[in-house]
Amino acid sequence: MTTATMKDGAKIYFKDWGTGPVVTFSHGWPLTADAWDAQMLFLASHGYRVIAYDRRSHGRSDQTWTGNDMDTYADDLATLLDMLDVKGATMIGHSTGGGEVARYIGRHGTSRVSKAVLISAVPPHMVQTPTNPNSAPMNVFDGLRSSLVVDRAGFFKELAMPFFGYNRPNAKVSQGQIDSFWLQGMMGSLQGEYDCIKAFSETDFTDDLKKMTIPTLLLQGDDDQIVPIDIASRRSVKILPNASLKEYAGAPHGMCVTHADQVNADLLTFLKG
């Protein structure tokens, strides 16, 4: 396996395909770089170098007891890009990975980045607070933590249904995608995935978004049951200085799989623009 060593010694698995302008991919919780297979193969076949990695404590990367927080995730990404000497990249993040991209730019700037894409992403701030009253209440995330601890294997099977919109009437259910979601989730550390819930829900990305002056594309389905569009992209696009939002009618959270062809086409158009 190809790995990069982080500042604390943790080894992060990554894949690096193709040649050309660089596109990086940051995955959602509780998945791995494999969640990007459809986008990576497509863009690599269209003349891009595509790089995706397993977040620490996820997938094939080291399972660390500490460092499962958004600042460290962003610093890990910076270490990887520095090691590969990436320049002019387009950074793409899905869900938690979208927060990771925002925090990376907030902490490390845009010297290695030319564009960004946030897909079904968690910014600006998922959890409800006195100053953020319209987001999701804390008991939603407490419920995620409880389900994870009580029966992680069963929970990931159940979570895949709303994640891909398979619980909707007349949905075309792919057992293979459910199995893949389960497998990717089970590869990670229980403790790391537990900590990551706090990272993606309680981190306030507002200041990070304000620093994202590069061209930014937001993509999200209006039937996202995991990260509702009203508390996510529809708010983020008003904060970002240089962004546009494309909404997918009826699309779920896992739209990179269920709407892969449309997502791929939109990414290619944005990359070429």
What is the predicted pLDDT for the residue at 217? 99
| Average confidence score pLDDT of the chain | 98
Q: For residue 58, which amino acid is it?
A: H
pLDDT, residue 241, reads 98
Residue corresponding to tokens 């497998």: 183
- Report how far residue 95's alpha carbon sits from residue 238's, in angstroms, rounded to the nearest whole number: 18
CB of 163 within 8 A of CB of 30? no
Residues of the chain with pLDDT under 50: none
Closest CA to 215 of 91, 100, 121, 103: 91
The residues near 38 (Cβ < 8 Å, ≥ 6 apart) are 256, 257, 260, 263, 264
Residue indicated by tokens 């959890």: 127
Q: What angle do CA 74, 76, 77 make, to 5 degrees?
A: 65
What is the rounded distance in angstroms from the CA atom of residue 259 to the CA atom of residue 249?
11
The whole-number pLDDT of residue 1 equals 82
For position 53, what pLDDT does the model report?
99
The predicted pLDDT at position 175 comes to 98
What pTM, to 2 d.p., does this model score?
Answer: 0.97
pLDDT tens by residue, 167-215: 999 999 999 999 999 999 999 999 999 999 999 999 999 999 999 999 9
Residues labelled as active-site residues: 95, 224, 253
Report yes or no: 88 and 189 within 8 Å, Cβ to Cβ. Answer: no
List of domains in the chain: 3-272 (3.40.50.1820)
3-state DSSP call for residue 221?
strand
